[in-house]
Each structure stands twice: as C-alpha cells, then as structure tokens.
C-alpha cells in the first residue's frame, strides 16, 4: 500500500542528498538558527518534485508513537523489565532508544544527559516547518490551492511539535519565525513563554491551517498526511491537555518564574479554569463531527473468520488497534509500521515481545518472542480492568466476599471456556472480568486466538501456561501484552517468525469520544446541557467492549449506585475508562501526568504474581512486590539539560532539577 511511509522510504536515498542542501542542524541555543543557505533553498523550492521532499522531511521529525523508544510506551508504570534487557537489548529485539525509556521507568532521569531528550530535534522540526511556509509560494509548478495546503500541513506539524515539547518540558520558547543569520547572540537566547501562550499559539496555528486543508485523504498515497480531520483531532487533544490540572492553574508550579519575573504557569480564577474546559469541549465536538462526516466510527471486526461471539468480540478489540487504517483510525503513524519476518526484529517495536511462542512443542528453540520473561505488566494494571458488569472490582457487589487470590477451577461454561482452560486452576482475580481483560492480557491458563485458526473452538485455541513457555526462564510478572499482538503473528521455524505489517494509530476515535466526555464533565458536570452526549459517547465505547452502560452498571450491580451523579464520581469513571480502553497505547503515561495523578498511582507499588515459584498454583498466585517506582513533583516534567542551559542562560530550569 502506498502511503507517507512508503513515499519517504522511496525517497530515502535521494533525500540524503536533498537534506544536505537544507538548513543544517545547529546545536546552539534552541537548534533553530538556520545556516546561510539561500542559494540551496532556492534550488529546493525551484520545483514541486524537490519541494515535496522537503515537506516529507518536515514529517520525519514526528515522534515515534507506538514505538519502543517513545517514553510513553515503556517509560511509565505499566511494564517492568529484567536487568538483562538493559545489559543486552539486542537479544530482546530492542535498540538503544528503547532502553532509554526503560531508564525512565526506573526513575533514573538526570540533567547531565537526560533520557528521551528530543528538545533539539523537535525545534529542528519547527524550523523546517517555518522554512517550508516561508518558501513554498515561490515554487512555480504548483497551484495556489496546493501551496496553501502544504503550508497548512506545516502549521499543524509545527503545533504538534510544540505540543510534544510542552507535554515534556511545560512552558517552552515559542518560535514563530526562523532567526536570520545576522541576528545577534542575544536575539537567539530566547526566554520560555508562559504555558497558556504556548497552548494558545498551537491552537492558533491549527485554526489558521484548517480552512486550507483537504477534508480527508485523496488516495492511499495521502495516508498519514495532515488533513482537516487529523488537524481537528490534534486540536482536541491539545485543548483537553491545556485544560487539564497539570497546566491549568497548577499551584505547584506557580513558583516557576524566569529572570524577567514572568510567571510561567499563570494563576487563574475559577471562571478562567472553566473556560479552558469549555474550549476543549467545543474542540472535541468539532473533531468528532468531522470524523463522522467522513465515515469514521468505532471498529467492529467484519473479516472472514467465522467464530463464536467471544472470539469475534476479542478480534474486535484487538484489531481496533492492529488493523491498519480501519474506520476508527483518525491519524496513523505512516512513517513507522509494525512488521517483521526473519531471525530477529529489525525494529525496536515490542510487538515481538508481546507474542509468546504459541507452538513451543514444534519449535522448542525459538526464543525471539519472549513476552513472558523480558517485560511484564504490573498486577495493578491487570486489576484496573472492570468486572463483567463494567465496574471496578472493588465496586461490584458480586465481588464483595471474593478473595482475589483464592484459587478456583475453570468451569466448562461459555463465559469461562472461551477465555481460560477448563479444568485448570487460577486465581479468582482472573474470573468474571470484562472482555478487554481477556483481549488485552496474556496470563497463565489463558487461551490465545492466533494464526491458522479458521474454525476456532476452546479445545484448539493456543494455550498459555506458566510452565510451558520455557523451562529455564520464569515469567517476570505473570501478565503479557496480548493487545499488541496481531492475531496472525506466527512462528515459522526455530529461528524465524512472521508478523503482518500494521500502522500504529496515533489517534483513535475512541480516544476522542472519551476526551469529549471528560471535557463535558469538567465544564458542566454530569447533569449539564451536554450530559446526554457525555453518556452517549462513554456508553458507545463500553458497548463495543461488551459491558453495560455507565448508569445501568452502577445502578444495577454496584455498591455505590449514585456515583455517576456527581462530577467527582464521573471524573473517576471517565478516567478509569480511558485507562482501560487505551491501556498499552501510550496514553496512560500522559494522562496520569496531565491529571496530576501520577504520584498517587506510582505509590501503589509494582506487584506481580510469585513467578519465581511457578511449580504449583498455590505458590504461584501470591501477590509479590517486584519494585518500588519513585515519582515526585519534579518528575512531571523533563529537565532541561545542562548543555542547553549553558548555551542559553535565559532558559530557567524546571522545578526540582
């Protein structure tokens, strides 16, 4: 399929020559001061065929979401890693960028050489976008409509780069225009702008761009490029983030004041705080309406496999993430796709670790897919999934007298035999959970729908057991990330495997639905003018997940039937829904931070099953501490590196660093 990824890859050889002609990277100050390259720029923008390479270069600075190297994927509190991963990452199909995220999870961030430090790269991307906007009008063989469209794409990309900078560092310098080579040193030694100005500028850029963007892709070659729908979705995420407690009147950051006396996190009135949420609500609704206008909707599996409703439900939930460019994908990361076939992964994406060797008897020596021993999911993350009634375990009346660590035999009944191996024992913890629990997680005694299953039955589904994957290396936590594993991933020999390529969705429609529900509740509460829409979109996500709507679940099955009637109660419900629906997609990392809930979550500790004792179920199913992750006030934002501060003394360091 032709798309942005393929186009960039097609130009890869010639692009090296073109990029040599472009403004070179400058390591001083903000990495945004261009070289004296007017003659070469005239060459680049002398015809469309070279100018489009420059446009694709702007896209090349997009952060790799859905990539092991993204801090949001592996740098938080969802996963943990064995020490061997740090010592020998290539053995686990990882590269050095992915290992950086592991250091974040271990609380080893520093100011000398910060991990996942893309400050310079993001500002370089902004500079490229500015350069394109400044020069594209001179290209002779382009229509004015297309020139405006490309400028619009550059503006949205610029806003997105700034969004990543602000999520990581908080208030940052706004670079509206590139500096001239004749500008003095004091001109380029800029100050940080206050956080509200940063968000306002991002939204201003997108609003300017949207009228000039195509509503949707014109064809497969446009997949992954910015269009009006994508721009609106990005704006919605930016607006919700701007309204969130980490940025909106954050009293803990009021003392961050620069040498000019500028308060970088402005204090606000209650009305001003609410205005941010109202703006976010409007932005989310506009994005959702545009998505619906072009036919976007929640994904439901409609492929060739015919199976029991439990399997179809699982395929719906797994393929919502892993089926490329499906109707729920609002914006896909076309620069990077998940694929692999050969001896080891050429990429650092952890799909290769999320799938176990499903046929260890046939291929006993295959160890490249090692999701059980290299990294594992925290017990608290598995626990956050709802019961079958769509409620937290602690709020389900039927679970009141159930000991989650007590053993229970799996029965040969539909609600159990399609998820777990009948006749075996496992903890009560794993019983009577919502479909997302079984679709997203792999665990001892679970069943796994995989390749070569045209007529799946409980008896021929792949079986996962704590003692069957390897005799030498125990599971690290007891839970694997099945969600990342496309169902047709398969081992082909003792040294090779095959994974169908799929595009990582940067933004799914379910994400927008939940953002809209959150903004409505924060702006109006659960009984305001838009409450009906709030419950409609929440319940749409829950219905796809196979659980009752919010009101039905809490009124019928819970021990707190009135919780949904208060703003605080609905806040908890909406937050929990996002943590479940978007688990393992890089959203939890940013959500916990913008909600200012990260310290509370990290303090819950990182627990696992007693995986060092896999022999008997009675010994294995014991809640066991693995590690304590430290998270303090300073960890909400990245530090500016010592070198960055030395190059520009006007940049004040973040609190605590």
Task: With beta carbons less than 8 A apart as the criterion, state whether 329 and 503 touch.
Answer: yes
Does the pLDDT value for residue 163 go beyond 90? yes
| N-terminal to C-terminal alpha carbon distance within the chain | 46
More confident residue, 205 or 491: 205
Q: What pLDDT score does 581 carry?
A: 98
629, two tokens: 């992750």
185, burial (CB in 10 Å: exposed 0-12, middle 13-18, buried 19+): exposed
DSSP annotation of 631 reads -
Give 107's pLDDT tier (boundaries 50, 70, 90): very high
Does the pLDDT value for residue 121 go beyond 70? yes
Q: What is the 3-state secondary structure (H, E, C) of 502-553?
A: EEEEEEEHHHHHHHHHHHHHHHHCCCCCCHHHHHHHHHHHHHHCCCCCHHHH
More confident residue, 374 or 372: 374
Does the pLDDT value for residue 1 go beyond 50? no
Beta bridge partners of 257: 263
Does the pLDDT value for residue 14 go beyond 60? no
Lowest mean pLDDT: which of 32-36, 127-131, 351-355, 603-607?
Answer: 32-36
Look at residue 337 and give its three-state secondary structure: strand
Residue where the block lists tokens 């500790």:
605
Q: What pLDDT score does 16 carry?
A: 26
In this predicted model, what pLDDT tens digit does every residue of 628-651 receive, in sequence order? 999 999 999 999 999 999 999 999
In this predicted model, what pLDDT tens digit does every residue of 271-280 receive, in sequence order? 999 999 999 9
Does the pLDDT value for residue 155 go beyond 90? yes
Closest CA to 473 of 353, 362, 580: 353
What average pLDDT score do residues 248-265 get?
A: 97
In this predicted model, what pLDDT tens digit does every residue of 385-418 receive, in sequence order? 999 999 999 999 999 999 999 999 999 999 999 9
Rounded to a whole number, what is the largest CA-CA distance in the chain? Answer: 78
What average pLDDT score do residues 262-288 get?
A: 98
Beta bridge partners of 342: 497
In this predicted model, what pLDDT tens digit does every residue of 511-550 receive, in sequence order? 999 999 999 999 999 999 999 999 999 999 999 999 999 9
Q: How far apart are CA 461 and CA 468, in angstroms?
A: 15
Q: How far apart are CA 59 and CA 553, in angstroms?
A: 44
Q: How far apart are CA 193 and CA 32, in angstroms?
A: 16
Query: Cα 337–338–340 angle (5° rounding)?
Result: 120
> Packing angle between helix 48-59 and helix 119-135, nearest 10 degrees?
150
Beta bridge partners of 657: none
Residue 108 has phi, psi (to 5 degrees) of -110, 25
The percent of residues above 70 in pLDDT, for the chain, comes to 89
DSSP annotation of 484 reads G
Lowest mean pLDDT: which of 1-5, 101-105, 136-140?
Answer: 1-5
Q: What pLDDT score does 222 carry?
A: 83
Q: What is the 3-state secondary structure (H, E, C) of 45-68?
A: CCCHHHHHHHHHHHHCCCCCCCCC
Q: What pLDDT score does 372 carry?
A: 64
| Number of CB atoms found within 10 A of residue 559's CB | 14
Q: How far apart are CA 67 and CA 234, in angstroms?
A: 19
pTM over 0.85: yes
Q: Please enumerate in sequence order all residues whose Cβ is within 8 A of that of 571, keeping only pairs 6 or more positions apart, or say none.
A: 518, 521, 522
Query: Cα 532–536–542 angle (5° rounding)?
Result: 145
Q: What pLDDT score does 371 carry?
A: 62
Q: What pLDDT score does 20 carry?
A: 25
Q: How far apart are CA 156 and CA 323, in angstroms?
A: 26
Number of H helices, E strands in the chain: 26, 13
Does the pLDDT value for residue 469 go beyond 90? no
What average pLDDT score do residues 238-265 get?
A: 98
Q: What is the 3-state secondary structure (H, E, C) of 188-229?
A: HCCCCCCHHHHHHHHHHHHHHHHHHCCCCCCCHHHCCCCCHH
Look at residue 361 and give its three-state secondary structure: coil
238, two tokens: 């930016």
> Packing angle between helix 587-594 and helix 228-243, nearest 10 degrees?
40
Q: What pLDDT score does 69 carry?
A: 79
Give 502's pLDDT tier (boundaries 50, 70, 90): confident
Q: What pLDDT score does 19 carry?
A: 30
Q: What pLDDT score does 74 carry?
A: 87
The mean pLDDT of the chain is 88
Q: Please enumerate in sequence order all residues whose Cβ is within 8 A of that of 334, keeping only pairs 6 or more positions apart, or say none.
A: 3, 4, 5, 223, 224, 225, 503
What average pLDDT score do residues 167-192 get?
A: 90
Q: What pLDDT score does 346 carry?
A: 32
Task: With beta carbons less than 8 A apart as the criterion, state whether 354 and 83 touch.
Answer: no
HSE of 581 in the Cβ direction (CA atoms, 13 Å)? 31
Q: Please enumerate in sequence order all residues whose Cβ is within 8 A of that of 263, keeping only pairs 6 or more positions apart, or say none.
A: 194, 254, 256, 257
Q: What pLDDT score does 647 carry?
A: 94
610, two tokens: 């007693």
Task: With beta carbons less than 8 A apart as the criterion, state whether 109 and 639 touch.
Answer: yes
Does the pLDDT value for residue 623 go beyond 90? yes
438, two tokens: 């079984």
Q: What pLDDT score does 367 carry?
A: 63
């Amino acid at each position: 399929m032709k798309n942005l990824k393929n186009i960039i890859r097609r130009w890869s050889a010639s692009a090296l020559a073109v990029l040599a002609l472009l403004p070179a990277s400058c390591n001083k100050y903000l990495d945004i001061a261009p070289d004296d390259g007017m003659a070469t720029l005239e060459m680049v923008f002398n015809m469309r065929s070279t100018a489009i390479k420059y446009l694709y270069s702007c896209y090349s600075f997009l952060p790799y979401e859905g990539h092991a190297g993204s801090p949001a994927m592996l740098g938080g509190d969802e996963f943990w890693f064995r020490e061997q991963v740090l010592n020998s990452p290539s053995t686990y199909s990882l590269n050095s960028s992915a290992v950086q995220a592991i250091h974040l999870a271990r609380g080893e961030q520093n100011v000398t050489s910060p991990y996942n430090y893309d400050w310079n790269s993001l500002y370089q991307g902004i500079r490229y976008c500015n350069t394109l906007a400044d020069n594209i009008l001179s290209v002779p063989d382009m229509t004015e409509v297309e020139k405006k469209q490309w400028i619009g794409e550059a503006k949205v990309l610029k806003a997105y780069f700034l969004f990543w900078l602000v999520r990581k560092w908080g208030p940052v310098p706004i670079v509206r225009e590139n500096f001239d080579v004749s500008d003095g040193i004091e001109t380029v030694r800029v100050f940080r702008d206050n956080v509200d100005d940063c968000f306002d500028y991002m939204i201003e850029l997108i609003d300017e761009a949207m009228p000039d963007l195509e509503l949707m892709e014109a064809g497969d070659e446009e997949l992954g490029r910015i269009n009006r729908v994508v721009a609106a979705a990005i704006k919605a995420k930016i607006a919700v983030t701007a309204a969130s407690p980490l940025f909106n009147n954050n009293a803990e950051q009021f003392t961050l004041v620069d040498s000019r006396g500028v308060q970088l996190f402005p204090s606000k009135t209650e009305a001003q705080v609410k205005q941010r949420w109202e703006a976010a609500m409007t932005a989310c609704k506009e994005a959702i309406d545009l998505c619906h206008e072009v036919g976007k909707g929640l994904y439901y599996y409609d492929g060739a496999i015919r199976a029991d409703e439990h399997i179809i439900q699982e395929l719906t939930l797994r393929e919502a993430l892993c089926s490329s460019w499906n109707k729920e994908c609002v914006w896909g990361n076309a620069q990077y796709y998940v694929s692999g076939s050969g001896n080891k992964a050429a990429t650092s994406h952890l799909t290769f670790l999320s799938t176990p060797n499903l046929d260890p008897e046939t291929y006993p020596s295959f160890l490249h897919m090692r999701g059980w021993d290299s990294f594992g999911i925290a017990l608290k993350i598995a626990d956050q999934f709802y019961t079958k009634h769509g409620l937290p375990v602690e709020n389900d009346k039927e679970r009141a007298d159930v000991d989650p660590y007590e053993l229970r035999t799996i029965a040969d009944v539909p609600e159990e035999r399609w998820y777990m191996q009948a006749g075996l024992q496992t903890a009560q913890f794993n019983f009577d959970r919502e479909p997302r629990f079984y679709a997203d997680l792999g665990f001892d005694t679970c069943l796994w729908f995989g390749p070569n299953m045209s007529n799946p039955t409980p008896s021929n589904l792949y079986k996962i057991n704590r003692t069957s994957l390897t005799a030498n290396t125990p599971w690290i936590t007891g839970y694997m990330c099945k969600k990342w594993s496309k169902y047709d991933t398969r081992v082909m020999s003792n040294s090779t495997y095959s994974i169908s390529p799929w595009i990582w969705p940067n933004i799914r429609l379910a994400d927008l639905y939940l953002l809209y529900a959150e903004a409505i509740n924060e702006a109006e509460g659960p009984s305001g003018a838009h409450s009906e829409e709030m419950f409609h979109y929440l319940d749409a996500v829950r219905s796809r997940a196979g659980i009752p709507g919010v009101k039905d679940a809490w009124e019928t099955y819970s021990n707190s039937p009135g919780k949904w009637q208060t703003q605080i109660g609905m806040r908890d419900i909406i937050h929990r829904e996002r943590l479940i629906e978007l688990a393992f997609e890089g959203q939890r990392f940013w959500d916990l931070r913008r909600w200012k809930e990260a310290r509370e979550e990290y303090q819950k500790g990182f627990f696992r099953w007693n995986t060092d004792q896999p022999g008997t179920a009675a010994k294995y199913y014991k809640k066991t501490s693995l590690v304590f992750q430290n998270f303090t006030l300073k960890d909400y934002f990245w530090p500016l590196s010592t070198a960055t501060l030395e190059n520009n003394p006007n940049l004040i360091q973040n609190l605590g660093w």
